Amino acid sequence: METDSTHISIKGKQTEVKSADVDGQTVVVKGKWFKVAEVMDEAWLAGQTITHPEQFIDRLKAQRLGADLFTFMQKLPDTKPRFAYALEMDNVAATPTTSFAEWWEHRLPQESRKNARRAAKRGVVTKSVPLTDELIRQIVEIYNESPIRQGVPFWHFGKNFETVKREISTFSDQSEFIGEYLGEELIGFIKVVYAPPVANMMQIVSKNAHRDKRPTNALIAKAVEICEQKGFGYLVYGKYSYGNKTESTLSDFKHRNGFEKILVPRYYVPLTLYGRVILLFKLHRGLLGLIPSGCLSLMLNLRAKFYRNVWLPLRLKPKTAAGPVAEDGQSD
């Protein structure tokens, strides 16, 4: 059966992958050493993506996409396993948003409340803004502030206006942008994608030059406030932890801003004999899931030092001075 191809973003780059329509869902196939099929943009779609997995998997097999495994997950608030497939408990970083007062008073430590107020005290205005060319130009400026964020090369650094406009405009019919302004200058923004009954933070980035104003804390507070007004049950901030990477400055930042680790079932269905072997030896977990936590932390620290002390000076060598390097709790 003839298959199609689709472009998806992998580490900030557009990559062409095999795809097919299955029961109205676009399924894409990713991977180098083994192929994994999944519903495209599953996290950003409303409700449960797969409700009748047996039928879906039968139709997926008929497409002959060459995948070894198919994976899908349940979504908040449905955290109880419902299907008889091999599963592992995945996780999300989420905070209830039915009551802003409860989040503010009981989920935030005093220091985080203080940080969230600091931006307003220093003249920063946080508000919902439309996606315009002017907003995109200012987002490009934020992207180009530093080639490194969270200790690794920043995917969006150096992208031109047209590329950023194309990428930032995805899910435009279900997105809201929250901007943070110091006068006319955009110093930070969040892109929130609404996928009832939850809201997902697709991106949150702030200027490191204005870090003293704690812009990221104020952006999250505004997002929680808007979610309460719109009636969303949770605000999701990606994953709380990735594989065996159980500790990081980013997960600490999420915790300090009221997010908690919530486990959700993720299912794995082998489609080939090779897929069964992969699942048996847990190779689907990748390096982050196979390397012990202590070794992984050491490797990640060494990687961050390499990018900061070797990679960055080489990249900026033609310049007389390097800009600030952001290594805070912002999501890229």
Say which range, 7-21, 33-47, 311-325, has the weakest mean pLDDT: 311-325
Lowest mean pLDDT among 8-12, 64-68, 134-138: 8-12
Q: Which ranges of the chain does DSSP label H, i.e. alpha helix?
A: 53-62, 100-102, 110-121, 133-143, 161-168, 215-230, 249-256, 273-280, 286-290, 293-306, 312-315
Beta bridge partners of 19: 4, 28
Place of tokens 């204005």: 210
Cis, bond preceding 270 (omega within 30 deg of 0): no
Half-sphere exposure of 20 (CA within 13 A, CB side): 19
Note the pLDDT tens digit of each residue in 184-200.
999 999 999 999 999 99
- Chain length of the chain: 332
Q: Going from the N-terminus, what domains does the chain have, and what CATH number goes with each?
A: 4-88+266-295 (no CATH), 98-232 (3.40.630.30)
Residue tagged 């690794």 (tokens): 152
**Count of other CB atoms within 10 angstroms of residue 137:** 13
SS3 content of the chain, % helix, strand, coil (to 5): 35, 30, 35
pLDDT at position 326 over 50: no
Res. 166: pLDDT tops 70? yes
Res 24 pLDDT > 70: yes
Nearest to 290 by CA among 241, 243, 239: 243
For 106-139, how does the pLDDT look when each residue is reduced to its tens digit (9 = 90+)?
999 999 999 999 999 999 999 999 999 999 999 9
State the CB neighbour count (10 A cutoff) for residue 219: 28
User: Would you state the pLDDT for residue 35?
Assistant: 97
Provide the pLDDT for residue 315: 83
Rounded CA separation 25/13 (Å): 23
- Share above pLDDT 90 across residues of the chain, in percent, rounded to a whole number: 85
Q: Tell me: the pLDDT tens digits for 206-242?
A: 999 999 999 999 999 999 999 999 999 999 999 999 9
pTM metric for this prediction:
0.91
Q: Is pLDDT of 246 > 90?
A: no
CA distance 80 to 12: 33
Residues linked to residue 18 through DSSP beta bridges, in sequence order: 5
Mean pLDDT, residues 162-188 taken together: 97
